[in-house]
Copies of this chain bind each other. A is one copy, B any other.
Amino acid sequence: MKVYFDNNATTPLHPEVKKELIEAMGMFGNPSSMHAWGREARANVEDARSRVAGFIGAHDDEIVFVGSGSEANNTVLSLFVCASNQCIPGTKMRSSIITTKIEHPCVLETSECLAHRGARVKYLNVDRYGKVDLDQLAGMLGDDVGLVSVMMANNEIGTLQDIATISKMVHECGALMHTDAVQAVGKIPVDVAALGVDFLTISAHKIYGPKGVGALYVKKGIPYCPFIRGGHQERGRRAGTENTLGILGLGKAVEMRQLEMEAEEKRLASMKAILKKGIEERIDDIYFNGHPTDSLSGTLNVSFPGAEGEAILLYLDLEGIAVSTGSACASGSLDPSHVLLATGVDAERAHGSIRISLGRESTMQEVEYMLDILPKTIKRIRDMSTAYIKGGTHAASR
């Protein structure tokens, strides 16, 4: 059996998105061209923009299409380090940035780089469920803070943040608010007005759209300067010939989410509950990571002390099951997940954790297969583990 339980890393194209892409392959004009080919492409790109805007309650001209979620996040953060601010006439950006310890690497690494470049960056702690410390935020907010960036849903543990409350606090101190909603949009209702954010990041490939395309919501009137410069594309807010196929794919993906999201999230939640119960019953000495209720319905992160994450991943892979340890883009890194460490999980438990992320193609049969294979896999690994030998850390718990 082949079981893809890594939908937070990326998702298969929705059949309707595939259809849309195949249909759109003949439409090749450059949306900036004035002739018929260009106008056709332009009309389709604008149609996709309307769909994306409508889905999150934005105005069409508040949506900037970009090449990835990572690019969108880099774009927002980079607004706050220009030494000259010539691009945003009349605006002097405040130079402190606040973000969290559990952000995606594209936010964390960009923040580190900005710190090298003179920005002051502060990182918010989270509690053991991954919720941001709002008291700490209140203490950090001040006249110097230009931007606060807090992700809406965490990719590794699924924990949701209360963005609306945070936005309010941020605006009270006169700073701007960004949320990386890559894992949230299309899974939970997102309305930019209700959230009160100034910037919001979307990526297509997490919601059954193509990879290499995303969107950035930029609230009307907010100071903005392009990250990729040149051309007049996207009203001068992002240069580069538009990825027309990708943009149409994102538009269609969003349209399908609008139709399917609600029912499907319920289905995923019940599958996750079964998976959770099954793991609890069949494997001892386990810990679930992330918030027990305020969490993405398809995301389950679990630690198996005494079993190393990569070994679990690869033994499951041999049985046809795909899961991940930490985030996909951190693979290749040997460090334990920064997200789990931030929640106070110790390094051993962090090393021994996997993320199971369900998606629209996941079935109950797959869940059952997983519940059959996973206990054997963990037993097998624990049987060869030093953590369970006499005097080993977990010897007592056996």
Contacts and interface: CB of A to CB of B under 8 A. Distances in A.
Interface in A302-330: 310, 313-314, 316-317, 320-324, 328-330
Interface string A1-21: 010101001111100001001
A365 interface: no
A30 interface: yes
Interface stretch (A92-100, A241-249, A385-393): A241-249
Contacts of A71: 67, 228, 240
Contact of A68 (B67, B109, B113): B67
Q: How large is the interface on A (under 10, 10 to 19, 20 to 34, 35 or more residues)?
A: 35 or more
A398 interface: no
A213 B26 CA distance: 18
A221 interface: no
A38 interface: yes
Contacts of A227: 74
B33 A25 contact: no
Given A71-B240, A241-B68, A232 B330 contact: yes
B329 A4 contact: no
Interface string A214-248: 00000000000001111111000001111111100
A151 to B, nearest CB: 13
Contacts of A130: none
Nearest to A206: B241
A332 to B, nearest CB: 5
B34 A10 contact: no
Interface in A20-69: 21-22, 25-26, 28-30, 32-38, 66-69
A63 B168 CA distance: 45
B9 A70 contact: no
Contacts of A118: 83-84
A240 B69 contact: yes
Give 8 nearest A-B pairs by CB, closest first. Answer: A212-B243, A106-B230, A67-B67, A231-B329, A68-B240, A70-B240, A35-B322, A84-B116
